[in-house]
Amino acid sequence: MTSPFTDEATQKFFENHKYFGLEANQVTFFQQGTIPCVSNDGRFIMETPFKVAKAPDGNGGVYSALKYSKLLEDMASRGIKYVDCYGVDNALVRVADPAFVGYFIDKGVAAAKRLVFS
């Protein structure tokens, strides 16, 4: 998932690095949404005198972005049954933890979430 501000540079980065050993058709880029920028006092931040500044809608935007981009339908048509989604800001996350993924598949649930209290 990219933002409108990083999409082109991200795609070029992957092209320049030969998709890190994957085929180009194995990598899909989709853009997250944007939301208006608002100051601490609740006023819109203006990019120009006539245009409200926008920012990416954050990690939570992945769900609407997947739907809007039609990637959910694309994954289903290719037989993809499971997707691991995590917050990119969590440096300690174990991506696609096989024990966690296997547990929720074994339980037959549609979705699962893991929390670590700090």
What are the tens digits of pLDDT across the range 26-82?
A: 999 999 999 999 999 999 999 999 999 999 998 889 999 999 999 999 999 999 998
Mean pLDDT of 87-106: 86
Identify the three-state secondary structure at position 19: helix
Same domain? 71 vs 98 = no
Same domain? 42 vs 16 = yes
For residue 117, tell me if it sits in a domain.
yes
Same domain? 54 vs 91 = no
pLDDT band at 105 (very low <50, low <70, confident <90, very high): very high
For residue 2, tell me if it sits in a domain.
no
Distance CA 82, CA 78 (A): 12
pLDDT band at 23 (very low <50, low <70, confident <90, very high): very high
Cβ atoms of 1 and 32 closer than 8 Å: yes
Range of the domain at 26: 7-80
Same domain? 72 vs 42 = yes
Same domain? 76 vs 28 = yes
